[in-house]
Amino acid sequence: MILTVIYCCVYATVIVPAFVANGLEVDFPSRPTVGLKSDTRSELDQQLVPEIKQQNGQSRSIAVFPTSSEKAVGPENITQDDLDLRQTFDLTNEQRQAGQPSQWLSKIFSDAMWTFVPHSKSKSKCNLQARLYQQHLSNNTHWAIRMLDASLIVPSGIIAGAGQQFGHPDQCIHTRVPLPDFRTKYCLPSAQFSPYKGLYPDFYNKRTRDWPPYDMEKNIWDFIRPRDQLIRFTRHSFSWGLCIPESCSAEDIQTSLNDTLSRAFAKHQIHIQVNLTELQCYSVSEEKMCLVCTDSSILSGYCSSLSTKK
């Protein structure tokens, strides 16, 4: 009886006015839902689950947990911060169930690339120079920071179709490293990503149109997924500039990137596959035409001019 009275007081005096003020319509549950929350199973730490009617007519539950002040649930102890926290927690779970990643891919990518260092299974020189690069990065050494700064760390504009993000090739290949036989190399790896089928099954269904007006209420994966139209931007893949030691081969870099990025993206139920060939890499010491990106005449022309610089 006491629990029911507490529930009704909280619901009528705090929760309902808060959601009404935010334009949400509230339905009273047919009966209170009360469950023990804490490890001690105290009757004070209880979970009240009001139902919120959304614009589509469906109802969902807003989880209500013990207050931030760790006091008993009651009208005098629940603050607006508590309500905001509980609503945010519930919406986050709802977004995950709807196929929205807990972090957007640019954040996942940048976190992984900040600490990326290539490795090789067969070339000790690559591993040695990669460790030197990592060590000098931690010391904020000028040449190492220049290499990092020349690389694309945080991709942007992918949704708009900005699929080629070069970083700064010139800064990379003209970085002078004051170590024996240590030169830099600029590469343009490409990555293709997609959600796990369990995260967003519709990504793998029949393709839909790709022209305005776009439905801004739909899941972002629906907008990114490949389409049948020929005239469209590719939003599920991108290429980025990367500055690394020249002693590491394209195969070494591709393997290292796949190892690093696959682990990072798997935590968020996203597949990612990186591809890189020697034609997509360039260094000043190479006596060849740079064909970093076969479908980009701008970058190919840029690399051609670099090959004349000695």
Interatomic CA distance for residues 107 and 104, integer angstroms: 6
Q: How many domains does the chain have?
A: 2
User: Sign of the C-alpha dihedral, residues 231, 237, 238, 239?
Assistant: negative
Boundary-marking domain end, from 97, 113, 142:
97
pLDDT at res. 49: 40
pLDDT at res. 210: 59
Interatomic CA distance for residues 264 and 286, integer angstroms: 33
**CA 13 from chain center: how many Å?**
40
Q: What's the domain range around 39? A: 2-97
pTM: 0.59
Digits of tens for pLDDT over the chain (310 positions)?
565 555 555 555 555 455 444 444 444 444 443 333 344 334 433 443 444 344 444 544 444 444 344 444 444 555 554 444 444 444 445 545 555 546 788 899 999 999 899 999 888 899 999 999 999 999 999 999 999 999 999 888 888 777 788 999 999 999 999 999 999 999 999 999 989 988 888 787 766 565 666 777 888 887 787 766 655 667 888 999 999 999 999 999 999 999 999 999 999 999 999 999 999 999 887 644 444 444 444 454 445 444 444 4
Same domain, 43 and 123: no
Interatomic CA distance for residues 288 and 304, integer angstroms: 9
User: Which are the contacts of 89, defined by CB distance < 8 A and separation ≥ 6?
Assistant: 63, 65
**CA 122 from chain center: how many Å?**
32
Same domain, 57 and 205: no
Boundary-marking domain end, from 97, 114, 130:
97
Same domain, 111 and 211: yes
SS3 33: coil
Percentages helix, strand, coil for the chain (3-state, rounded to 5) are 35, 15, 50
Interatomic CA distance for residues 56 and 84, integer angstroms: 22
